[in-house]
Chain A
Amino acid sequence: EADIYQTPRYLVIGTGKKITLECSQTMGHDKMYWYQQDPGMELHLIHYSYGVNSTEKGDLSSESTVSRIRTEHFPLTLESARPSHTSQYLCASTSPLYNEQFFGPGTRLTVL
């Protein structure tokens, strides 16, 4: 199993603020993902990376950006938060052996 860490777990901020959600994994997985999810609803892929210096947008349009400078670190940044960004953000990585995805605990973001 992968150890995936996300910080902060909860965040309440005002409109217009810049924020970065952190995601790190300790297993050396190349493939990492960011999902957005409203409570109890379907997951939507917003960004993914297949390795260092590789980032792609997912199926759901998002105003966020990501970077992948180190294998273990995949932060997500919102330049100017808006109430429509209120959601849970889940980070995941994939085991190369079986292509199985593992998830971090998530960040619950509320933008006032």
Chain B
Amino acid sequence: GIQVEQSPPDLILQEGANSTLRCNFSDSVNNLQWFHQNPWGQLINLFYIPSGTKQNGRLSATTVATERYSLLYISSSQTTDSGVYFCAVGEDSNYQLIWGAGTKLIIKP
């Protein structure tokens, strides 16, 4: 099956810093999503991005499907950005997501 690897596993930054989170996957996918899990456990959709580039405020994401990776950029980090960021991929044929282990981000004030 498809393998998903996220890096780095942990990241500690000062408020205002920029960061790049990476998601590598081992096979072709038709679905790729980025999620943020806040300290209360809620999973929040950030991007649905099987290919291309999207931006939403201070966050942007790029997926290069032919090279099997996706990047999530966070600019001017705020303490509310803290939490775990998950990448999940899937194939349309079975409608299930395969999850990475997540990147735990801590933003210090």
Contact = CB atoms under 8 A, between A and B. Distances in A.
Interface residues of B, number: 24
B31 interface: yes
A101 B41 contact: no
B56 interface: no
Interface string B25-41: 00000110101010011
B41 A39 contact: yes
Interface in A60-112: 88, 90, 94, 98-103, 105-106, 108
A45 B96 contact: yes
Nearest to A45: B96
B96 A40 contact: no
Interface in A19-78: 31, 33, 37, 39-43, 45, 48, 50, 58
B102 A42 contact: yes
A64 B104 CA distance: 29
B55 interface: no
Which range contains the number of A residues in contact with the other chain? 20 to 34
Contact of A108 (B35, B41, B92, B96): B41
Contacts of A33: 96
Given A99-B90, A100-B45, A42 B101 contact: yes
Nearest to A2: B45
B13 interface: no
B48 interface: yes
Contact of A106 (B31, B41, B86, B92): B41
Given A40-B104, A103-B42, 19 more contacts: A31-B95, A39-B41, A40-B102, A43-B86, A43-B88, A43-B99, A48-B95, A58-B96, A98-B48, A99-B30, A99-B31, A99-B90, A100-B48, A101-B88, A103-B35, A103-B45, A105-B40, A106-B41, A106-B43
19 contacts: A1-B45, A31-B95, A37-B41, A40-B84, A41-B101, A41-B102, A42-B99, A42-B102, A43-B88, A88-B41, A90-B41, A98-B48, A99-B31, A99-B95, A100-B33, A101-B45, A101-B88, A103-B45, A106-B42
